[in-house]
Structure 1
Amino acid sequence: MIQKLLLPTLLFFLIQSLCAQNVFNSTAEHNADFKVFVVDREYKADLLVFKVDRAYKAKDNVGLWYFTDAEYKADISLFFVDRDYKSDLKIFYVDREYKAGWRNENKKSELNIPTRE
């Protein structure tokens, strides 16, 4: 019973922290907070992500990610999976910062994730 309540709560906080954070690309699935799959088309994504070149640029912006070089510097650790069905979140990398944000409104509302106004 506790496990059924704990998983959705944990997933909510992990996804919320993914909105704009310093992230670390983990090489081991068991060390990662979250499993992510990169889709090949924008329409398939839950979240459109733009990689920023400075950590301060990622703050308070949905879908702006800064990849750190060390796990201790990261807010969250990600593991990139090779199949979409293994993932917790599907992302697509965009080429412009203004394009970053939620694509899948169902996923966003299901998890109650805030968006950029």
Structure 2
Amino acid sequence: MKRYILPIVAVFLCTIQSQAQKVYSVDYANQADVKVFVVDYENQADLKVYKEKYQNQADKNEGRWFFTDYANQADKKIFFVQYANQADLKIYFVKYENQAGWNNKSKMQLMY
């Protein structure tokens, strides 16, 4: 029985990790898992984000986000703050999918 527990736990953890890029924008900071600030320039960002059109395209922690319609569909709830010093994560929205990715990998755990 013990030999089955480890593979089951591993599959569960991989499933959680692989779906961490479905996000929902909440109305209040206290509802959020992560507070986000959108910067003006790419080099100021911790993460460069590409908005995906379809949910199944946002499957890894690579900056490809799908914004859900409801909070219960999302794996992370985010709140957009007014000032950079209020943010846990600074992002920059890119135009093309291949531009997405982390500039500051020390903040990757915020989106797992």
Question: TM-score, normalization: structure 2?
Answer: 0.76
Mapped to 1, the partners of 2:94 and 2:108 lie a distance apart of: 23
The Cα shift of 1:20 comes to 5.1
- Give the CA deviation at 1:111: 4.6
How many residues are aligned here? 92
Q: Which residue of 1 aligns with 2:86?
A: 86
Q: Which residue of structure 2 lines up, in the alignment, with residue 97 of structure 1?
A: 97
Runs of 4+ in 1 over 6 A off after TM superposition: none
Q: 1:112 to 1:55 in 2, by over 3 A?
A: closer
Q: Structure 1: any 5+ residue segments left out of the alignment? A: 1-16
> Structure 1: how far apart are the matches of 2:42 and 2:32?
24
Identity of counterpart residues, as a percentage?
43
Who is 1:48 aligned against?
Answer: 48
Once the two structures are superposed, residues 86-112 of structure 1 have per-residue CA deviations (whole angstroms, 9 ceiling, x without a partner) of 0000000000000000123xxx1x356
In our comparison, the structure showing a higher alpha carbon Rg is 2
The CA distance in 1 between the partners of 2:59 and 2:73, in whole Å, is 14
After TM superposition, list the pairs within 5 Å mapping 1:1-80 onto structure 2. Answer: 21-60=21-60, 62-80=62-80
Which structure 2 segments of 5+ residues have no match? 1-16
Q: What's the TM-score, normalizing by structure 1?
A: 0.73
